[in-house]
Amino acid sequence: MRIYSAIQPTGCITIGNYIGAIKNWLALQDDNECIFSIANQHALTVRQDPQEFRARTLSFFAQFLACGLDPEKSVLYVQSHVHQHSELQWILSCMTYIGELDRMTQFKDKSRKNEDNINAGLFTYPVLMAADILLYKADMVPVGKDQKQHLELARDIAVRFNNRYGETFVVPEPYIAKQGAKITSLQNPLEKMSKSDKDQNATVSIIDPPDVIMRKFKRAVTDSDNRIVFSEDKPGISNLLSIYSAFTGETIEEAEKTFEGKGYGDFKLAVGSAVADALLPVQKKYEEYLSDKAELERIMKAGAEKASYLAERTLQKVKKKVGFIVS
Ligand code: TRP
């Protein structure tokens, strides 16, 4: 199976991304042909400070490696290093209707949130995402709920192209992870933990130092009674139980037993240290990768070359099909 997914270098990689996405990717990379990218062209739809943007892209790449994504097993690269993405995007944008893009709920959301920067890139963003996926003939795309509509559009574009020009693209399926808890904000447990949340206390980054992790869990919102049980009317406690379970391997039921009769204060400290401990090896590797920029850039470049090779094969085919003169 060919698998493709990507993450934007904005905000930080949270424990929610780690549990919900990266851990699944790790499980997939042994038995599949996986391609994972840092979607920095997508991130440019929001204003970025160039220096910070560059540093964050590098940092995200190092975090991929530190988590265990393996450049020997998977293709790991940065989107802007592979020029074929924008080239295919142009061709695909000529077969995508304004009406389709106008229906994208994320575009509507983001427009509302960035009223002073509703740029054309924000509007055509799903076409770039379709190009990402279709270039590599991905069979499966692991995505969160918020990206389902974009994946649907990628499928529609693939089918449309194939009908018009003959079989070219693989029509990708969404990949739904068998398990994987949804991690919500520590400050508003009814909302997904968002990597770009402005409230620092709402999210935990996988590279937050242990004392910061402890502080954030200490401040986590809980609820009024004092029972540590997983239930719909206790979103804060349930979220902490999910996090604890994901980082220790204990089931939710086992975790409930572990904390029976304990107070919220002790519970929050225990969750914090479970997370901090589990992340320590990742953080150590992260520091190692970051301390050798030349090696990091070498790995990045090698990944881009592999990706480019695959992407170019598809792009050549597409150019021929649409009637561009190719040598
Ligand atoms: N848009 C995705 C997000 O914000 C990131 C992304 C870019 C992506 N290209 C992709 C995800 C291709 C899956 C496949 O989460």
pLDDT digits (tens, 9 = 90+) for 303-313: 999 999 999 99
**pLDDT > 70 in the chain, percent:** 99
DSSP label of 184: B
pLDDT band per the 50, 70, 90 thresholds, residue 177? confident
What local confidence, expressed as pLDDT, does residue 144 receive?
A: 87
**Domain ranges in the chain?**
2-176+293-322, 210-287
pLDDT band per the 50, 70, 90 thresholds, residue 179? low
CA of 142 to the centre of ligand 1 (A): 9
- CA neighbor of 276 nearest in space, from 217, 230, 222: 217
What local confidence, expressed as pLDDT, does residue 180 receive?
A: 67
Least confidently predicted of 29-43, 91-105, 166-180, 242-256: 166-180
Q: Tell me the CATH class for 2-176+293-322.
A: alpha beta
Residues taking part in catalysis: 110, 192, 195
Mean pLDDT of the region 125-130: 98
Q: Is 64 in the pocket of ligand 1 (CB under 6 A)?
A: no
Mean pLDDT of the region 202-210: 98
Query: Which residue out of 3, 8, 37, 75 has the highest number of ligand 1 atoms within 8 Å of its CB and is therefore the one to mutate?
Result: 8
Q: Is 151 in the pocket of ligand 1 (CB under 6 A)?
A: no
Judged against a pLDDT cut of 90, whether residue 326 lies above it is answered with yes
CA of 207 to the centre of ligand 1 (A): 22
Closest atom of ligand 1 to 129 CA is 9
Domain 210-287: CATH superfamily is Tyrosyl-Transfer RNA Synthetase (1.10.240.10)
Q: Is 45 in the pocket of ligand 1 (CB under 6 A)?
A: no
Domains 2-176+293-322 and 210-287 share a fold: no
Mean pLDDT of the region 173-198: 89
Mean pLDDT of the region 63-67: 98
Q: Are 9 and 146 in contact (CB under 8 A)?
A: no
**Rounded distance, CA 171 to CA 168, Å?**
9
pLDDT band per the 50, 70, 90 thresholds, residue 250? very high
CA of 133 to the centre of ligand 1 (A): 9
What local confidence, expressed as pLDDT, does residue 223 receive?
A: 84
Judged against a pLDDT cut of 80, whether residue 178 lies above it is answered with no
- CA neighbor of 69 nearest in space, from 299, 245, 261: 299
Q: Is 39 in the pocket of ligand 1 (CB under 6 A)?
A: yes
CA of 145 to the centre of ligand 1 (A): 11
- Which residues does residue 7 pair with via DSSP β-bridges, in sequence order? 38
24 sits in which H/E element? helix 23-28
Q: Are 6 and 44 in contact (CB under 8 A)?
A: no
Least confidently predicted of 58-72, 83-97, 168-182, 229-243: 168-182
What local confidence, expressed as pLDDT, does residue 122 receive?
A: 96
Judged against a pLDDT cut of 90, whether residue 217 lies above it is answered with yes
What local confidence, expressed as pLDDT, does residue 181 receive?
A: 73
Q: Is 141 in the pocket of ligand 1 (CB under 6 A)?
A: yes
**pLDDT tens digits, residue range 2-20?**
999 999 999 999 999 999 9
Q: Is 132 in the pocket of ligand 1 (CB under 6 A)?
A: yes
Q: Is 8 in the pocket of ligand 1 (CB under 6 A)?
A: yes
Mean pLDDT of the region 131-150: 95
Least confidently predicted of 97-106, 138-147, 272-281: 138-147
CA of 233 to the centre of ligand 1 (A): 32
Q: Is 129 in the pocket of ligand 1 (CB under 6 A)?
A: yes
Q: Which residues make Cβ contacts (< 8 Å) with residue 48, sequence separation at least 6?
A: none
CA of 175 to the centre of ligand 1 (A): 13
pTM, to two decimals: 0.95
Closest atom of ligand 1 to 142 CA is 13
